[in-house]
């Protein structure tokens, strides 16, 4: 039975707009920090350290944020995320000599808290807006939100690199503050209060007791660690330092990759439907994640081998990024659907928060390894570690059950 509700659709659109604005500035800020501080002479390990508190705060925020959202409401935490991002960006409006590693780490930590409050609230809101029987709508809305978010993050990467070259570091920061401030005010007047239930979970209910959610969360942690171990620090630094790419070129490549990745995520329901029609994927469960994981695991290996065989490393990387983006995106989109399908309606923010805590833990692990392994052993070693992590993620996820819909 199709699900149609103009009120739900309106609220979904407003939540998505808030998530879009945050994601745009988040992508731009990451690229700004990475390129600007590499230009100041920071080493790969120092650059990676700038994001450590950002990712670590995500682990804590997702765990505690789900409980906070269950107490004060998803709309409040959604808006609070925007406020914290504005404050984090404003912290960087200082002279270059005042932007120490520790200071920037603290600003990034505040941004990380805001990002995960905003994301947690946006994703959880979908579960509350869609009735239990409308699973196709749930998958479609999750895929659209996640895919469009990543496309906007890619545009943010491009915007960060481009504006850094055109108008400079501080002017770019000010423009992002204006954008977020506008969205915050609009949301204040138009967003309704999004409630989960009348139940108020206790603090001891933070850790999920669902074996399916625990298994999915572990698979998610390994999957995103596998991406970030070569993509978040190693790749852009390699392109800039080894291949002498400009800010524009690095930002554009990262942007195009994330935009394409987001586009595939948005189309994931159609891709899965096409597989079902051919009898390849009867249900969305562990067998489906194992199928896409087995395809993904070989791609970083092929890229690593190509770096040692072919002279044109730039072309090798670009050709490898395309299939990696496609396969990774479908796998990620299936994960994003499964967590909402598994989550209890009365405790959706707790379950989603636990899951994204694992997601943030994977990014934290990948970010740290990206700086250390790249500086010590090079990009090829980062790619090999990526394949190993994907393999373990696939093995963990292959026994995931199909969601029960009632």
What burial class does residue 192 get, using C-beta atoms within 10 Å of its C-beta: 0-12 exposed, 13-18 middle, 19+ buried? exposed
Residue 320: what pLDDT? 93
Per DSSP, helices labelled H in 51-100 are: 52-72, 74-91
pLDDT digit string (tens) for 368-383? 898 889 988 999 999 9
Q: Is residue 217 a part of any domain in this protein?
A: yes
Give the pLDDT of residue 71: 73
In whole angstroms, give the CA distance from residue 180 to residue 201.
31
404 in any annotated domain = no
List the single range of 4-13, 315-324, 394-403 with lowest mean pLDDT. Answer: 4-13
What pTM was estimated for this model as a whole?
A: 0.77
- Domain carrying residue 378: 7-192+206-397
Cβ atoms of 366 and 44 within 8 Å: the answer is: no
Q: Within a domain: residue 402?
A: no
Total tally of structural domains belonging to the chain: 1
Please check whether residue 226 lies inside any domain of the structure. Answer: yes
Q: What is the DSSP letter of 106?
A: H
Residue 383 lies in a domain: yes
The CATH number assigned to the domain holding 109 equals 1.20.1250.20
């Amino acid at each position: 039975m199709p699900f149609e509700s103009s009120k739900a659709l309106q609220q979904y659109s407003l939540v998505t707009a808030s998530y879009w604005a945050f994601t745009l500035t988040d992508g731009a800020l990451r690229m700004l920090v990475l390129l600007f501080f590499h230009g100041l002479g920071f080493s790969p390990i120092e650059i990676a350290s700038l994001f450590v508190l950002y990712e670590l705060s995500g682990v804590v925020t997702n765990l505690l944020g789900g409980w906070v959202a269950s107490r004060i409401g998803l709309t409040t935490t959604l808006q609070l995320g925007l406020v914290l991002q504005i404050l984090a960006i404003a912290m960087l409006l200082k002279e270059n000599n005042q932007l120490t590693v520790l200071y920037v780490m603290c600003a990034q930590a505040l941004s990380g808290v805001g990002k995960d409050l905003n994301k947690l609230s946006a994703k959880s809101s979908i579960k509350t807006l869609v009735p239990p029987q409308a699973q196709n709508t749930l998958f479609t809305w999750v895929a659209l939100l996640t895919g469009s978010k990543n496309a906007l993050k890619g545009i943010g990467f491009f915007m960060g690199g481009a504006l850094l070259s055109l108008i400079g570091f501080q002017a770019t920061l000010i423009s992002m503050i204006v954008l977020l401030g506008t969205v915050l005010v609009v949301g204040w007047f138009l967003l309704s209060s999004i409630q989960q239930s009348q139940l108020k979970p206790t603090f001891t209910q933070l850790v999920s007791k669902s074996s399916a959610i625990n298994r999915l969360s572990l698979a998610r942690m390994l999957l995103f660690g596998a991406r970030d171990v070569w993509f978040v620090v190693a790749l852009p630094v390699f392109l800039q330092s080894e291949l002498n790419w400009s800010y524009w070129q690095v930002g554009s490549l990262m942007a195009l990759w994330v935009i394409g990745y987001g586009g595939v995520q948005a189309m994931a329901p159609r891709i899965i439907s096409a597989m079902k029609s051919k009898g390849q994927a009867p249900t969305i469960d562990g067998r489906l994640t194992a199928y896409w994981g087995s395809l993904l695991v070989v791609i970083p290996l092929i890229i690593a081998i190509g770096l040692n065989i072919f002279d044109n490393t730039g072309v090798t990387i670009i050709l490898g990024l395309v299939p990696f983006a496609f396969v990774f995106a479908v796998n990620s989109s299936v994960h994003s659907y499964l967590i909402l399908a598994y989550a209890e309606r009365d405790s959706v923010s707790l379950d989603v928060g636990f899951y994204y805590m694992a997601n943030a833990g994977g990014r934290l692990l990948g970010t740290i390894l990206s700086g250390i392994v790249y500086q010590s052993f090079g990009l090829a070693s980062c790619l090999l570690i990526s394949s190993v992590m994907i393999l373990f993620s696939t093995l963990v996820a292959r026994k995931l059950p199909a969601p029960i819909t009632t």
